[in-house]
Structure 1
Amino acid sequence: MPTVNLPGADGSIAPYTLTGTPTERPKAPPAFNRIAYAAAHVVSDPLRETRPWEAPAIDWEATLAFRHHLWSLGFRIAEAMDTAQRGMGLDWAGAQELIRRSLAEARTLPGADLACGAGTDQLSPADTRALDDVIAAYEEQVGFVEKHGGRAIMMASRALARVARSPDDYRKVYGRILGQAKDKVVLHWLGDMFDPQLKGYWGSDHFEGALSTVISIIEENREKVEGIKISLLDNAKEVALRDRLPDGVLCFTGDDFNYAELIEGDGRKYSHALLGIFDAVAPQASMALACLAAGDVATFRSVIAPTVPLSRKIFEAPTQYYKAGVVFLAWLNGHQSHFTMPAGMQSARGMLHYAEVFRLADRAHVLDKPDLAAARMKSLMAVMGVGD
């Protein structure tokens, strides 16, 4: 197995020899007994990019090929979400093209499924003055998704967090959009560890107050709510939400720290999944979920458990920079030819972070092509000043 010199937290450099075994791919997309959305990233085109912070260029061929990779493993796709750098490199114009292209691509593949993020990121939060501005922005984005034959995931809104003054303001906005939606919508509860501008969302800085508001919105609009994704990195809070949801409304875990136990469930209830980490560990998650569906809980646990330390490292604080780790692994595994991201997001993490992600990915059997991964890791380390 190949060996790479990697830095340690104490400043030392030591050889690391890979030990992981690539995960076997299924011959056909497997069936799961949990709904599993993988939030997918976008691939930059560095050969066309001149202003990556202001106008990033997207490699559409590689971006759509990665979606075929996820579909082949049995996943639904959560399109144009945080993992695709919405509001952190991908603007609404870019998201529109991504949604349009992905929906068209899904129609060419029997069984391919996806839902699309609809938010308010065409609005500047600082310039938003009224709830009607937020409503109009949501209407535009949900309308765009529906016009192109898609289903909407109603993303949390920075603009709404800025102008809302009470839980009733959230009820007004969500009630208006859900009341107009053609199909059922997935709601999105994203904690401020993922986006500091969402602090106080649902009109409260306290979980119990926010939870009461969310449940009231769902109960008032239950015919239009498929489910809610919760991303608070706190399994107890997710269970509290899950236990209070009305019958028929699904809980989608967005907890990239505790997803294994939340998906397995507690013997009474379980969570479905809408996760950014599934982008990075798709083969392992697919195998684990297929085993769970077959009743083989022991293998589910043995396959998915090693991915959890890796995910916790990728999503460590500042959590919003997790996208860098996801794309780093896509590059190591040969899904793209470079480690370049919209807005230069690859620079959001440092050498020690990437070195530990590499080690943990190997131990979780996430490195599909060990020789390629080692060669690429050596080149990255050399750029960062760690040579052989």
Structure 2
Amino acid sequence: MITFSGRGSEFVTEAGFSSRIAYAAAPVTADQHAENIPGAPAALDWDATLRFRHHLWSYGFGVAEAMDTAQRGAGLDYAATRELIRRSAAEATGPIVAGVATDQLPPGPATIDDIRKAYAEQLADVQEAGAQPVLMCSRHLAAAARDADDYRQVYGELLTQADGPVLLHWLGEAFDPLLAGYWGGDDVVLDIIRSHPDKVDGIKMSLLDASREISMRQSLPPGVRMYTGDDFNYPTLIKGDASGYSDALLGVFAVIAPPAGAALRALDAGDISTYDRIMDATVPLARHLFAAPTYHYKTGIVFLNWLAGHQDHLTMVAGAQAGRSPSHLLTLMRLADEAGILPDADLAAARARAWLTTVGLDK
């Protein structure tokens, strides 16, 4: 018989925090009545999608909209992306940033000029919507760039065109193998930042390499923030050390917002032991959620949000609910309970029993 502890009820207080900036990269909720199959245009349940963003704002998190957690490049087409950014920014009750990429271009080769124009179009869309832009990595640029000067040219033009400071975004190949070798090295992105310090609010690093993030953080110009995207090592990177700390833009915050918010409030108060206790309990969940192949972590996020009651079904755009095995998700259920992210134990148990029956694990 499936039962849950109900520990998640410990973290129901909705309140903010101040000592760190923390964005949660939010998933989307598919319309379960639409043809959300591989290759089909994405059809979203707008009410559920936006309701979840209000959940994140209520716990003090900013929303990182239309990032890879929202299935950018993995089922969320640009028409749906643009509408998502517009609707979320219009309803925002807290900070919101939104992804700028080149995914309106068809897959395959593109010229540097095509890439520059695609980036510029999306930058204008995000700024018009009223969100702060996040310049995401581009698969097209990764394939087309001949050398570091191509990155300098494209990003230099974008930063010049930006109305205000933007976030840069470095997504490692664990999240997207097509981005291997992006920038061409740490020195290139640092050179771009140093050449435009007034136009860069910070950089999000999702390389799952804590020592490399700390080294980059120490090399940033004054006033430029490091936003950790390391879903394995975030507690220590956010807590920081004598050399400084990282702010955060994390996919894992989409499922651990209530306990993570409580931990960050403890950090505000200087209560490091409570911060460590709460955050450390979420790490086994995060490491399993983002286990290889890491790019399928979105399936686990939607599964956990269904168990927690944030949506009524498991359908995902592009049929991505098939991205993780039943055994992977079964372990995820146990770790979610231990991390304290299931506030309604009875609802979670009822849904878990139904799911176990459908996948043949109810014996």
TM-score, length-normalised on structure 1? 0.91
User: Once the two structures are superposed, what CA deviation does each residue of 1:85-131 show, in whole Å capped at 9, x if it has no partner?
Assistant: 0110101111000000001111xx3xx11011011111134131x21
- Alignment-mate amino acid for residue 186 of structure 1: L
1:127 is matched with which residue? 109
2:8 matched residue in structure 1: 22
CA RMSD of aligned residues (A): 1.3
- Measure the CA separation in 2 of the matches of 1:364 and 1:184: 35
1:159 corresponds in structure 2 to 140
Is residue 179 of structure 1 aligned with residue 160 of structure 2?
Answer: yes
- Alignment of 1:61 with 2:47, yes or no, is yes
Secondary structure in structure 1 of the residue aligned to 2:189: helix
- Which residue among 91, 104, 107 is the counterpart of 1:105? 91
Checking the alignment, whether the CA contact within 8 Å between 2:227 and 2:248 is kept in structure 1 is yes
**Cα deviation 1:23-43 (Å, max 9, x = unaligned):** 445655322210000000100
Q: Can you list the C-alpha shifts for 1:295-332, whole angstroms capped at 9, x where unaligned?
A: 11110010110101100000000000000111111000
In structure 1, how many angstroms separate the alpha carbons of the residues matched to 2:336 and 2:108?
Answer: 39
Structure 2 residue aligned with 1:194, among 170, 175, 182? 175
How many residues are treated as equivalent by the alignment? 363
Query: For residues 215 and 294 of structure 1, what CA distance do their matches in structure 2 show?
Result: 33
Deviation at 1:182, TM superposition (A): 0.3
> Is 1:80–2:66 an aligned residue pair?
yes
1:280–1:326 CA contact under 8 A, matched in 2: yes
1:227: which partner in 2?
202
CA distance in 1, matches of 2:214, 2:297: 24
SS at match of 1:186: strand
Report percent identity of matched pairs.
51
Q: Deviations over 1:189-241 (max 9, x none)?
A: 000110011011112xxxxxx11111101001111000000000110111111
SS in 2 for 1:104: helix
Matched, 1:38 2:24: yes
Structure 2 alignment gaps of length 5 or more:
none
Residue 378 of structure 1, CA deviation: 1.4
C-alpha distance in 2 between matches for 1:24 and 1:30: 16
Task: Please give the residue correspondences for 1:229-378 in structure 2 after superposition, counting only pairs within 5 Å.
Answer: 229-378=204-353
1:29–1:71: 8 Å Cα contact kept in structure 2?
A: no
Normalised TM-score (structure 2): 0.97
Question: Residue 99 of structure 2 aligns with which residue?
Answer: 117
- Closer, same or farther in 2 for the Cα pair 1:59/1:52, shift >3 Å? farther
Q: Which runs of 4+ in 1 moved over 6 A?
A: none
Secondary structure class of the residue paired with 2:60:
coil
* Corresponding position of 2:122: 141
Q: Give a deviation string over 1:32-88, Cα, whole Å, max 9, x none.
A: 210000000100111133645412310000000000100000000000000100110
User: 1:260-305: per-residue Cα shift (whole Å, max 9, x none)?
Assistant: 0000001220000000000011101100011101111110010110
Alignment partners' CA distance in 1, 2:329 and 2:33: 24
Structure 1, unpaired ranges of 5+: 5-16, 204-209
Question: Retained in 2: the 8 A contact 1:20–1:365?
Answer: yes
Look up the equivalent residue of 1:87 and give its one-letter code.
G
Contact 2:17 2:261 in 1 (8 A): no
Task: Give SS of 2:310's match.
Answer: coil
